[in-house]
Chains A and B, each alone.
Chain A
Amino acid sequence: MTTIELKRVANVIRQDIISMLVTAKSGHPGGSLSAADIVATLFFNEMRINPKDPKWADRDRFVLSKGHAAPVLYSALAEKGYFSKEELKGLRQTGHMLQGHPDMKKTPGVDMSTGSLGQGLSAANGMALAGKLDGKDYRVYALLGDGEMAEGQVWEAAMASAHYKLDNVTAIIDYNGLQIDGKTDSVMCSAPLLEKWQAFCWHVIEVDGHDIDALLAAFAEAKTVKGKPTMIIAKTVKGKGVSFMEDQAGWHGNAPSVEQGEQALKELREEAANLG
């Protein structure tokens, strides 16, 4: 896909996120919106996947370690054709396959059940180790939050990815600077992330997480790195694309009302129109 097409997909994903949360009346908009460009780039350009065969053994895997951003993943999966877009209306409803946090048992295209922060990179490493053992060339992607960096298990896993030279692992930090209780720097300072991941023997790339070309270049670079996992620190804006949600910790885990949803969708449609 071209850059402009990927931008359009990201815009549609953002609209889906808003609509889903308005219908569900709960969920996490901020961290879903901040990750939309990253997820769009992965699912519509980077990853070798086949929506008709979600369990294809040679597919690239995606682990949404920051599982609360499930809506961004569900929208990408629907858009990609894993299931009908109608299903998005069932988010968080009793008996529906779209759980509040990703569930690999219930939703086609979800490679790992997540929701408890800190666990995704370990699972990604396990998949990557299996891939190496089986002589397969699939890659494993994991998306983490910056607040999530406070979890000890992230660093246990970071050490292991490097120790086992998992160059088939590419992790991304959605570096939006916010978590639930406020700015990440004030809740638990995880900076400097670049130096930390370098010190853990990772190849580290810093990008603007809303710049599709920069993301494409970073993913391409990651594939050329041998003997080391790659971390892409993607600087993002939480709530990106909806003016009143941008950079507001309060929009971490609150769904917009119907009116707020209308306003958000209006802004996103305007953006889509500008993209042409």
Chain B
Amino acid sequence: MADKQATREAYGKALLILGAENPNVVVLDADLSKSTKTADFGKKYPERFFNMGIAESNLLGTAAGLAAAGKIPFASTFAIFAVGRAFEQIRNSIAYPKLNVKIAATHSGITVGEDGGSHQAIEDVAIMRAVPNMVVLVPADGEETRQVILASAKYYGPVYIRMGRLDVPLLFDEDYHFEIGKANVLKEGTDVAIMANGIMVSMALEAASDLAAEGIKVSVVNVASVKPLDEDTIVRVAKTTKAVVTAEEHNIIGGLGSAISEVLAERQPTPIVRVGLKDTFGESGKPVELLEKYGLTKAALIKAVHEVLAKKQK
């Protein structure tokens, strides 16, 4: 087992499983099938693969029609083009009639790297989360991605799946269990909780180990299901730790940090520090350098934990 895998890579493999299992699964792409990793499905099941060309509005609109006629379409392109260019097709042709379309978006966040800010979706979770009927999932590693894709195909209705370009550490094995609407407590601690998703989950686990050495007991919660949000687990953990850090590769406005803040403000007011992009676009660069520059690192999480512990003390 390789120790790293991009979530998009796992997506491509999961599609092959689905292709064999379910003849109703169809895949659409918009001239990015090599990058989104839908190309393998296209090779294996050419009659069920539709390249729509560089036309994202039509990509999502056609997926809606396929779903209306009983298919389970996975429509793929980069997150910025799916949510950005085709927002209103997603909203009116897919979510409004609650059609069974899976929007499987890759290349989210700043870890797109060298292509730069124009290609780095940092607001997609916020936008998708605000749309009624939409499920929003952000897997952390390859295994979780596999389970997210299979669960999405079983669930009836629109799902937005946010995946990345970068190879990220493999965290889970087959014993791990993802469920739509459920958060996973990966580590129980009593002093503070880090609630993260996507690439920030592995950093949260590393930060928790480092903090343990300082005597700080950290809960780590993987919130892959941003919507529906597992409010009960979040509230339960926050009740114990009385301090929460959220972490996401997304703008701190509107994403996971916002979703958790909303729940805690209403049900369990708790000191909170949000780690994410501070309302700024990304830029070109090596992914690791960008993560460093924009404060999406283990060190940033440790700093945030100290900040929130100081708040808790007051």
Interface positions of A (Cβ within 8 A of B) = 57, 61, 63, 103-105, 111-113, 115-116, 118-119, 121-131, 133-134, 152-153, 156-157, 159-160, 163-164
What residues of B have a CB within 8 angstroms of the CB of A118 in the complex?
Answer: 57
Q: Which residue of B lies closest to A122 (CB)?
A: B61
Partner of A113, one of B53, B58, B60, B97: B97
What residues of A have a CB within 8 angstroms of the CB of B50 in the complex?
Answer: 129, 164
A160 touches B68 (CB 8 A): no
A104 touches B68 (CB 8 A): yes
A133 touches B62 (CB 8 A): no
Query: When A113-B93, A157-B61 are in contact, do A126 and B68 touch as well, CB less than 8 Å?
Result: yes
CA distance A185 to B71 in the complex (A): 39
Instruction: Encode B33-57 as 1/0 by CB contact (under 8 A) with A.
Output: 0000000000000011010110101
Subset of 23 A-B contacts with CB under 8 Å: A57-B70, A61-B69, A103-B96, A113-B96, A116-B88, A119-B61, A122-B57, A123-B93, A126-B73, A127-B66, A127-B68, A129-B62, A129-B66, A130-B66, A133-B71, A156-B55, A156-B57, A157-B58, A159-B53, A160-B52, A160-B55, A160-B58, A160-B62
Q: Which residue of A lies closest to B101 (CB)?
A: A126
Partner of B57, one of A105, A125, A152: A152
Q: Which residue of B lies closest to A111 (CB)?
A: B68
What residues of B have a CB within 8 angstroms of the CB of A156 in the complex?
Answer: 52-53, 55, 57-58
What residues of A have a CB within 8 angstroms of the CB of B68 in the complex?
Answer: 61, 104, 111-112, 123, 126-127
Name 19 extra pairs, CB < 8 A, besides A125-B62, A125-B65: A61-B68, A104-B97, A111-B68, A113-B93, A113-B96, A116-B88, A119-B89, A122-B60, A122-B89, A123-B61, A126-B62, A128-B65, A129-B26, A133-B48, A134-B69, A156-B53, A156-B55, A157-B62, A159-B55
Q: Is B22 an interface residue (CB 8 A)?
A: no
What residues of B have a CB within 8 angstroms of the CB of A103 in the complex?
Answer: 96-97
Q: Is B64 an interface residue (CB 8 A)?
A: yes
CA distance A207 to B275 in the complex (A): 62
What residues of A have a CB within 8 angstroms of the CB of B243 in the complex?
Answer: none
Q: Is B67 an interface residue (CB 8 A)?
A: yes
B98 touches A105 (CB 8 A): yes
Q: Count A-B pairs with CB separation below 8 Å.
A: 109
Looking at B26, B47, B65, the one whose CB has the most chain A CB atoms below 10 A away is B65
What residues of A have a CB within 8 angstroms of the CB of B125 in the complex?
Answer: none
What residues of A have a CB within 8 angstroms of the CB of B57 in the complex?
Answer: 118-119, 122, 152-153, 156
Q: Which residue of A lies closest to B50 (CB)?
A: A129
What residues of A have a CB within 8 angstroms of the CB of B64 in the complex?
Answer: 112, 119, 122-123, 126
Partner of A153, one of B47, B61, B70: B61
Give the interface size class of chain B: 20 to 34
What residues of B have a CB within 8 angstroms of the CB of A160 in the complex?
Answer: 52-53, 55, 58, 62
B69 touches A131 (CB 8 A): yes
CA distance A243 to B231 in the complex (A): 60
CA distance A82 to B217 in the complex (A): 63
What residues of B have a CB within 8 angstroms of the CB of A57 in the complex?
Answer: 70
What residues of B have a CB within 8 angstroms of the CB of A123 in the complex?
Answer: 61-62, 64-65, 68, 93
CA distance A63 to B70 in the complex (A): 16
B53 touches A127 (CB 8 A): no
What residues of B have a CB within 8 angstroms of the CB of A157 in the complex?
Answer: 58, 61-62
CA distance A119 to B97 in the complex (A): 13
Query: When A104-B68, A160-B52 are in contact, do A126 and B61 touch as well, CB less than 8 Å?
Result: yes
CB distance from A121 to the nearest CB of B (A): 8
CB distance from B181 to the nearest CB of A (A): 22
Q: Is B229 an interface residue (CB 8 A)?
A: no
CB distance from B93 to the nearest CB of A (A): 5
Per CB-CB distance, the 3 closest pairs between chain A and chain B, nearest first, are A126-B65, A122-B61, A130-B69
Q: Which residue of B lies closest to A130 (CB)?
A: B69
Instruction: Encode B66-107 as 1/0 by CB contact (under 8 A) with A.
Output: 111111010000000000000011001100111000000000
Q: Is B63 an interface residue (CB 8 A)?
A: yes
CA distance A41 to B185 in the complex (A): 60
Query: When A104-B97, A111-B68 are in contact, do A116 and B58 touch as well, CB less than 8 Å?
Result: no
CA distance A119 to B55 in the complex (A): 12
CA distance A265 to B60 in the complex (A): 42
A116 touches B52 (CB 8 A): no
B71 touches A130 (CB 8 A): yes
What residues of B have a CB within 8 angstroms of the CB of A116 in the complex?
Answer: 88, 92-93
A129 touches B65 (CB 8 A): yes
CB distance from A134 to the nearest CB of B (A): 8
Q: Which residue of A lies closest to B98 (CB)?
A: A105
A130 touches B93 (CB 8 A): no
Looking at B62, B68, B88, the one whose CB has the most chain A CB atoms below 10 A away is B62
Q: Which residue of B lies closest to A164 (CB)?
A: B50
CA distance A65 to B73 in the complex (A): 21
What residues of B have a CB within 8 angstroms of the CB of A121 in the complex?
Answer: 61
CA distance A130 to B88 in the complex (A): 23
CA distance A241 to B98 in the complex (A): 37
What residues of B have a CB within 8 angstroms of the CB of A104 in the complex?
Answer: 68, 97
CA distance A164 to B60 in the complex (A): 16
